[in-house]
Amino acid sequence: MRSFVVGLGRAGAGLHLPVLAKLRERNPKLFDDHPVVACEPRETVVSRPGLVVAPTLDAAADGLCPADTIVHVCTPPTQRLAVLSDLAALGFRKMIVEKPLTTDIDDLARIVRLRRKHKLHIEVVEPWLASSLTARLVELFRGGRFGAAKSIDVVQNKPRFRRSLVRPGHPTAFDVELPHGVALALRLAGAARVTHASGTDLEVEGNIGPRMGGATVGLRHNSGVHTEIRSDLTSPVRERRVTVEFEQGSAVGHFAVSGDDHHSQLTLRSNGRSEHVVLRDDAMTEWMFEAYRKFQLDGEQTQGFTFATEVVRLLSVAKNICAEPVTSPEPDVVATHAG
């Protein structure tokens, strides 16, 4: 199979290309011998060995066989519908799409119709679902070692000033980190509804990024578990932490915060005892490998896509609850909009 990357921003150049290079080396039978093709209109793209770059979709697609090509859609989420429509018109059917699938509930409905009309196989990037840490947490939920789960708390913090102000790409803070957290909560505790949501603006030296400072979403799962997901994009430190409270213990997991070190950590506490483990966790590479295997084997196409659409729907409800932009809160104060 060939790889075609659309968009060489942070996701395309910084995440997908390095993972593809790793997979091509480790699993050569998944790929042909041709270079990766990319579409990027900017003239400042740095050349790389094994990469051919064209400025338009038509030019990049010239010479590619859609039946044997996996397209990586790495453009901003607000452009998803237009890019997917253009790719479908060119005959491409196998697509890996960066999260979130889209940021708009109306565009989501259009993408669902587009997928049905053209019989598209779409896999939405969600590396946390392929994480060894997530697998351990799923075991705890299902195995009953600490009894039933009561609550999930997810924290996704990082400083994101320049990208939010210069190249917004994502309309709100709900669209940056929270898709990971919502997907994780659904995987662990099942279907849910939004109970509350809040958001803040980003402000730096008089420059304001509306609704880009941070976001919080509360979920109540049909299983009875409560989830709180918080993301601060003005935080001075990076953190991706999940805490699960069970009837007879707790689990605190830390996902890798960057591609520099592929390890996660898990601490279990119960009856005054603590157990800590470090896990090898190259989640993005593992997720990409499984996606390519699905394309190669014409594997299941519906479950993952339906899961991704549910993440978009829940985040859309949260964004509607706090539709009015708010200013950054005073310390220890969170502006909450009840719907």
Domain shared by 278 and 234, yes or no: yes
pLDDT of residue 326: 42
Which residue range is the domain that position 167 belongs to?
136-286+303-337
Same structural domain, 85 and 53: yes
- The neighbouring-strand residues paired with 102 are none
The CATH number that applies at residue 256 is 3.30.360.10
Report in angstroms the alpha-carbon separations of 219 from 184, 187, 306, 320: 12, 13, 18, 15
Is the predicted pLDDT of residue 330 greater than 90, yes or no? no
Same domain for 113 and 177:
no
199 & 236 share domain: yes
Assess if residue 244 is contained within a domain: yes
State the greatest distance between any 2 C-alpha atoms of the chain, in Å, as a whole number: 63
- Verify that 6 and 88 share a domain, yes or no: yes
Q: In 3D, which of 48, 28, 26 has the Cα closest to residue 37? A: 48
150 located within any domain: yes
Range of weakest confidence among 30-34, 35-39, 218-222: 30-34
**Residue in the structure block whose two tokens are 């940056």:** 176
Taking 80 as the threshold, does the pLDDT of residue 168 lie above it?
no
Q: Which of 34-43, 85-94, 148-157 has the lowest mean pLDDT?
A: 34-43
Per the domain annotation, does 296 fall within a domain?
A: no
Give the pLDDT band (50/70/90) at residue 210.
Answer: confident
| Residue 291, in any domain of the structure | no
Specify whether 220 is located in the same domain as 278: yes
CB neighbour class for 44 (10 Å; exposed up to 12, middle 13-18, buried from 19): exposed
CA dihedral 75, 179, 166, 324 (to 10 degrees): 120
Question: 3-state SS of the chain: helix, strand, coil percent to 5?
Answer: 35, 30, 30
- What is the rounded CA–CA span in Å between residue 35 and residue 41? 19
User: 230 phi and psi, to 5 degrees?
Assistant: -130, 140
- Which helix or strand (DSSP H or E) is residue 235 part of? strand 234-246
The reply to whether 294 falls in a domain is no
Question: Is residue 150 located within the same domain as residue 234?
Answer: yes
Pick the range with the lowest mean pLDDT from 55-59, 115-119, 145-149, 162-166. 162-166
Give the residue from 83, 100, 124 where a domain finishes: 124
Which of 101, 124, 147 is where one domain is finished?
Answer: 124
Rg (CA), the chain: 20
Q: What is the pLDDT of residue 300?
A: 66
Establish if 130 belongs to a structural domain.
Answer: no
Domain-located, residue 295: no
Q: Report which of 148, 134, 126, 130 is spatially closest to residue 242, judged by C-alpha positions.
A: 134
Alpha-carbon distance 185 to 225, whole Å? 10
Say if residue 14 is in the same domain as residue 115. yes
CA distance 309 to 296: 23
Residue 297 placed within a domain: no
Q: Would the pLDDT of 255 be above 60?
A: yes
Q: What's the CATH number where 10 sits?
A: 3.40.50.720
How far is residue 172's CA from residue 156's CA, in Å, rounded to a whole number? 15
Instruction: Identify whether residues 38 and 153 lie together within a single domain.
Output: no
141 and 102 in a single domain? The answer is no
Tell me how many domains the chain contains.
2
Which of 124, 147, 181 terminates a domain? The answer is 124
Residue 332's pLDDT band, with cuts at 50, 70 and 90, is very low
The predicted pLDDT at position 166 comes to 75
The structure's pTM equals 0.90
What pLDDT is stored for residue 4 in this prediction?
98
Query: Do 184 and 248 belong together in one domain?
Result: yes
Residues 235 and 329 in one domain: yes
